[in-house]
């Protein structure tokens, strides 16, 4: 089971690292061009979410690898769970069903990490 959770953590970290890097570095027009929904939100909010995703991606992997405060990995997964609930709600109100399903899938993976790491 530990191997499966590590794979899930790595996938989540990669996903959020990519998403966060895009939101932090790319312009609003580039985000729209690559299909990033919600890119019409204020750029300060998008940048904040991007930085939070990068830090959370680090938090999913680094504490367990270092063996210091591994509960921080679960805390990072809780943070991502909250982000996914908010994102699903946002996409639901915009009638973006595909994105809502994707957010719920990521939410389930985050909850699995929380469950196993706590």
Label each residue of the chain as H, E or C: CHHHHHHHHHHHHHHHHHHHHHHHHCCHHHHHHCCCCCCCCCHHHHHHHHHHHHHHHHHHHHHHHHCCCCHHHHHHHHHHHHHHHHHHHHHHHCCCHHHHHHHHHHHHHHHHHHHHHC
Domains of the chain, by residue range, sit at 2-117
The predicted-structure confidence for 62-73, as pLDDT tens digits, reads as follows 998 998 888 999
pLDDT band of residue 35 (cuts 50, 70, 90) is confident
Model pLDDT, residue 42: 93
Tell the residue number behind the tokens 């790491």, with chain if given: 117
Token pair of 104 as six digits: 């719920």
pTM over 0.85: yes
The predicted-structure confidence for 71-109, as pLDDT tens digits, reads as follows 999 999 999 999 999 999 999 999 999 999 999 999 999
pLDDT band of residue 118 (cuts 50, 70, 90) is confident
Model pLDDT, residue 80: 97
How far is Cα 71 from Cα 117, in angstroms, rounded to an integer? 7
84 CB neighbour count, 10 Å cutoff: 20
Model pLDDT, residue 112: 97
């Amino acid at each position: 089971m530990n191997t499966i959770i590590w794979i899930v953590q790595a996938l989540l970290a990669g996903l959020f690292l990519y998403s966060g890097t895009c939101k932090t570095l790319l312009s609003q027009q580039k985000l729209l061009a690559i299909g990033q929904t919600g890119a019409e939100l204020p750029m300060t909010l998008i940048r904040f979410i991007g930085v939070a995703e990068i830090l959370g991606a680090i938090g999913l992997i680094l504490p367990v690898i270092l063996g210091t405060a591994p509960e921080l990995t679960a805390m990072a997964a809780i943070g991502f769970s909250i982000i996914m609930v908010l994102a699903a709600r946002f996409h639901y109100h915009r009638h973006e069903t595909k994105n809502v399903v994707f957010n719920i899938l990521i939410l389930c993976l985050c909850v699995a990490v929380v469950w196993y790491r706590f």
